[in-house]
């Protein structure tokens, strides 16, 4: 089972969420989207993740990115758990519900279809739980990035925001972002561009780092 590959059109699934029913492509509209799954409601690591996602939601919105979570419990559980999450991240006085919808996938149908199941994690009834998947989907409805973490390792939502910045930049500019890049840092000129093309495309200048091989592939330019 290859699962979803980068560039695949994301399935146009139907789901029940804490904000009502969604048909995924209609929900996306022209936006980017971060879809993230969780092993289960009322679990400690998931609570910290959903709290961090709630705190960062305005930053994602600023970038035209919709967020949507998925957990294999009922809508009723999701609504009850949301109150704990808002209290955990001290947002209960600001809002009465999470700033993004949470999909209820009690039958695990969506989690199975999207390859999100964790083979090792079971709930108290012995039912399999979802892993911590992240899918970033572009406005063209194609998969741009996927991450898969085991249940025991919470994700870094600042990193997810950072990769959104990189994905949005590289979607429109012929650049790549180096390790640990942050918005505003210099970016890298991809090997597919000749020196002449790079000079024409990046009037701010192209700076090449010398290396023992003498090959000129470590080329930087200020972020366009």
Assess 51 for contact with ligand BEZ (CB under 6 A).
no
Assigned token pair, 105: 């996938």
89-128 binders of ligand BEZ (CB under 6 A): 121
| Cα–Cα distance for residue pair 43/48, rounded to 1 Å | 9
3-state helix, strand, coil in the chain (%, to 5): 30, 25, 45
Told to judge if 46 belongs to the known catalytic residues of this protein, a careful annotator would answer: yes
Residue 51 or 138: the one with the smaller Cβ distance to ligand BEZ is 51
Closest approach, Cβ 183 to ligand BEZ, in A, equals 30
Q: Contact, 60 vs 94, CB < 8 A?
A: no
Distances (CA, A) of 123 to 35, 39, 50, 111: 22, 9, 19, 15
| Cα–Cα distance for residue pair 85/48, rounded to 1 Å | 8
The window from 35-43, 53-61, 105-113, 204-212 that contacts ligand BEZ (CB under 6 A) reads 35-43
Assess 44 for contact with ligand BEZ (CB under 6 A).
yes
Residue 17 or 43: the one with the smaller Cβ distance to ligand BEZ is 43
Assess 148 for contact with ligand BEZ (CB under 6 A).
no
Assess 46 for contact with ligand BEZ (CB under 6 A).
yes
Assess 43 for contact with ligand BEZ (CB under 6 A).
yes
Q: Contact, 117 vs 108, CB < 8 A?
A: yes
User: For the CA atoms of 190, 180, 99, 3, what is the dihedral angle to 10 degrees?
Assistant: 60
Assess 153 for contact with ligand BEZ (CB under 6 A).
no
Closest approach, Cβ 86 to ligand BEZ, in A, equals 17
Which residues make up the interface to ligand BEZ (CB under 6 A)?
39-40, 43-46, 121, 129, 151-152
Q: Which are the catalytic amino acids?
A: 46, 140
């Amino acid at each position: 089972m290859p699962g979803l590959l980068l560039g695949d059109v994301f399935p146009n699934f139907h789901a029940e969420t804490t904000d009502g029913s969604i048909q995924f492509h209609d929900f996306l509209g022209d936006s980017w989207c971060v879809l993230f799954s969780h092993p289960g409601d009322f679990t400690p690591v998931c609570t910290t993740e959903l709290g961090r996602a709630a705190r960062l939601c305005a930053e994602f919105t600023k970038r035209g990115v919709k967020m949507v979570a998925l957990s294999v419990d009922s809508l009723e559980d999701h609504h009850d758990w949301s109150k704990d999450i808002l209290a955990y991240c001290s947002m209960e006085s600001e809002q009465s519900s999470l700033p993004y919808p949470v999909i209820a996938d009690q039958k695990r149908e969506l989690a199975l279809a999207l390859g999100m199941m964790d083979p090792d994690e079971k709930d108290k009834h012995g039912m399999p739980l979802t892993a911590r998947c992240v899918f970033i989907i572009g406005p063209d409805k194609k998969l741009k990035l996927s991450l898969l973490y085991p249940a025991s390792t919470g994700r870094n939502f600042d990193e997810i925001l950072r990769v959104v910045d990189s994905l949005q930049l590289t979607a429109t500019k012929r650049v790549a972002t180096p390790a640990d890049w942050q918005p505003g840092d210099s970016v890298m000129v991809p090997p597919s561009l000749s020196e002449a093309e790079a000079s024409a495309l990046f009037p701010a200048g192209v700076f090449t780092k010398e290396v023992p091989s003498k090959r000129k592939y470590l080329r930087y330019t200020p972020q366009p």
